[in-house]
Amino acid sequence: MKTKKLALALAACAPFAAHATDGYFSHGYGMQSKGMGGAAAAVAESAFAGANNPATGAFVGNKFEIGVDLFSPWRKAERSGSPPGVGLDASSESDSNYFLIPEVAYNRMASADMSWGVSVYGNGGMNTDYPGGEIPGQSACAQFNPGPASYNMLCGSGRLGVDLSQLIIAPQAAWQFSPGHSVGIAPLFAYQRFKLEGLQAFDNPGFSSSPGNVTNKGYDDSTGWGVRVGYYGRPVAGVAVGLTYTSKVSMGDFDKYKGLFAEGGGFDMPSHYTAGIAFDVTPGTMLTAEYERINYSDVKSVSNPSILVLGCMAGQAANCLGGSNGGGFGWKDINVFKLGIQTQYSPTLTLRAGYNYSDNPIKPEDVTINILAPGVVQHHITAGATWKLDSTSAVTAAFMYAFSNDVKGASFFNNFAPGLQLQEKIQMYEYSLGVQYSRTF
């Protein structure tokens, strides 16, 4: 209970919000990482060891870092192809486009070979806020949700959108068991909260296992635990490697939304693993490359195909929203590739640049439900720099731009009228600008 109260207090002070770059994971943690495309597994310079590779803490030294990102995602949804009398053609852009996302980390050497510390950071990304009223009341939406004078993009009433925020507290410990080689562990305590509004068209027995627990229930929250382990090594001079594995974080259910998420409100955090290498190109210049695999298939509410919901109408209760195998967002597992470079430009200035490529987790057949969560960006470019203020303190800045990407597909609503050929498109681009203060001691 005390741990949950701590998480609530931190969440109140640090409103983690949408950070949908690699799916709904951030492209990096700590401004040094963010300036290099998110690569960090084989770089032992940041106190954010618990968020990246806990084994690197044994080489970081005594360090404190605190930063904040201004994150700006831009989302748009369109539907076309309505024949006369259907009236479902619409276009809408999400509001709420600016978020401040803080993060903090501390690392301390307990001895020459052992370190401990803590990283506090956030995930998110299913944050949308469409204004509603895009579809007139005299439309096919009335068969799903009769009564309103106008409808939102998913035939619901009023504003449409979700708010998912995740806060992770990661205590970290590392041991250099042999010169140049270390292992580390970071138990993960996670807190998350969620809100959905505007999905009234699906809040009925034909779609949900628990009508009344699908939409407009306000915020619900849950907590859970997981673990991250890592290895960091310097096999030869000028070369470093890093390996990490993060378990699935088993979260408590969103009880207020047990009629929405599969398994009665389940929304765990997926497992993922990373492998990275860094090497000195020239004295003062380092190049690092990294591969990450994010297993969204660990979480039924995220990975189950949305089309499963049609089974609910056929009497298959398990496939209803909220059912044991209920329809979800249809996200697939993704591969992420990160490339970064860092150079010591002068004794007081370090420059960074990077590139991050992520698979798109959303398939065309799941485009409709992902109007709520259009995490489709793939190509990211980054830049960053660190300015030493004196012998113990520095300021680091990082910029990221994710190029616009879209997914097009047939509308879910085509299943309810023979011959209907509605097409939908979801689109997203984003950028962030962050600053961090660090101090060694």
The helices-and-strands tally (H runs, E runs) of the chain is 6, 18
What proportion of the chain, given as a percentage, has pLDDT over 70? 95
Range of the domain at 297: 2-411
pLDDT digits (tens, 9 = 90+) for 295-348: 999 999 999 999 999 999 999 999 999 999 999 999 999 999 999 999 999 999
Residue 261 has pLDDT above 90, yes or no: yes
Give the chain's mean pLDDT: 94
Q: What is the average pLDDT across 46-59?
A: 98
364 part of a folded domain = yes
Answer for the pair 221, 234: CB distance below 8 angstroms, yes or no. Answer: no
Answer for the pair 192, 222: CB distance below 8 angstroms, yes or no. Answer: yes
pLDDT of residue 14: 42
CATH code of the domain containing 239: 2.40.160.60
28 part of a folded domain = yes
98 part of a folded domain = yes
Q: What is the average pLDDT across 408-413?
A: 97
**Residue 348: CB partners within 8 Å, gap ≥ 6?**
387, 388
pLDDT digits (tens, 9 = 90+) for 165-189: 899 999 999 999 999 999 999 999 9
66 part of a folded domain = yes
Answer for the pair 242, 232: CB distance below 8 angstroms, yes or no. Answer: yes
141 part of a folded domain = yes
Answer for the pair 19, 335: CB distance below 8 angstroms, yes or no. Answer: no
Answer for the pair 316, 361: CB distance below 8 angstroms, yes or no. Answer: no
- 126 — pLDDT class (breaks 50, 70, 90): low
237 part of a folded domain = yes
C-alpha count within 13 angstroms, C-beta hemisphere, residue 226: 23
d(CA 242, CA 56): 8
- 397 — pLDDT class (breaks 50, 70, 90): very high
- 23 — pLDDT class (breaks 50, 70, 90): confident
Write the CA distances from 128 to 92, 93, 119, 155, integer angstroms. Answer: 11, 9, 27, 16
426 part of a folded domain = no
Q: What is the average pLDDT across 234-254?
A: 97
Token readout for 43 is 């770089």
329 part of a folded domain = yes
Give the residue with greater pLDDT, 85 vs 332: 332
Number of domains the chain contains: 1
pLDDT of residue 115: 98
